Structure 1
């Protein structure tokens, strides 16, 4: 699912983030507008510091949509669901293992910590939504719920406007 990062993609991600991307490995998902909205990062930053967030939601509109869900209490609600729904909890644990297997295939970090709070907590909907976009629906049930609640963040077109040769939008 991931694809190599072109210089154009790197430029778009830098404009989305408002800074140069760190440890960028691949474009893990593209928004329907064609721009990257999730990138895959290396398990370690360029200086060797562990960086457990394998998938990073870069689109500011998608990020804002995930933030709205977090502020509306979705994490607390879905955390409660994990405690009372054994099937959901088992699927979330499988998502955690799939995430770790993908990351560990690149580099094993000193801890087994992961992004998003998996497998026991719902901690970061940005990371969980990014995982669902990168891995595809059906892998991470909480990430899928986040995507369902985020709406169509792409409906107004690309979030990162092209720049002219001097770098101004």
Structure 2
């Protein structure tokens, strides 16, 4: 079994404000910033396996940058999930890498808290269901851990190229989502 990833660094008040601006709401079960986009802002957060009220929340890594989210949505709309799903059925090496990504994800989440069911993320290990979750995992875990997530990130383009998507102050005139 894969060893769990170290916990994400704690979230500062400024980061929490940026994440809330990115999401358009306060973040839930926020644990830390799991990845920063090249513009320096958070683009993936780590969430606790349970919400504040104890409800299981199996999404460990959550894509927060609205530009990155839009890029993942465009890939989904273009049919990439279906294409990669079909490829999983015919490419044993891709399927093995995807299964290993699933085990890595579960090991990290289980290290934080074991949920009553071992729900998947993004459809892993047998389906390609949510490129947002898979891209978030790939960005948080680093290249080479999640082959489908890596593909999604590569095809999402440079979502950060226009600069930060959100700023700590809601009154900042340069806040663009």
Pick from 47, 51, 63 the counterpart of residue 53 of structure 2.
47
What stretches of structure 1 move > 4 A for 4+ residues in a row? Answer: none
3-state SS of the aligned residue for 2:117?
coil
Matched, 1:14 2:49: no
Cα distance in 2, alignment partners of residues 128 and 162 from structure 1 = 27
Unpaired segments of 5 or more residues in structure 2? 1-5, 173-177
Cα distance in 2, alignment partners of residues 4 and 78 from structure 1 = 34
Q: In the alignment, which residue of structure 1 is the partner of 2:155?
A: 149
Structure with higher RCO (Cα < 8 A, 6+ apart): 2
Contact 2:14 2:168 in 1 (8 A): no
Equivalent residue runs for 1:4-153 within 5 Å? 4-153=10-159
Q: In the alignment, which residue of structure 2 is the partner of 1:168?
A: 171
Q: CA deviation at 1:162?
A: 4.2
Contact 2:15 2:168 in 1 (8 A): no
Unpaired segments of 5 or more residues in structure 1? none
- TM superposition score normalised by structure 1: 0.96
Cα distance in 2, alignment partners of residues 139 and 55 from structure 1 = 14
Q: How many residues in Structure 1 have an aligned counterpart in Structure 2? A: 166
Q: CA deviation at 1:161?
A: 3.2
Cα distance in 2, alignment partners of residues 39 and 92 from structure 1 = 21
Cα distance in 2, alignment partners of residues 152 and 7 from structure 1 = 27
Contact 2:49 2:113 in 1 (8 A): yes
Contact 2:102 2:125 in 1 (8 A): yes
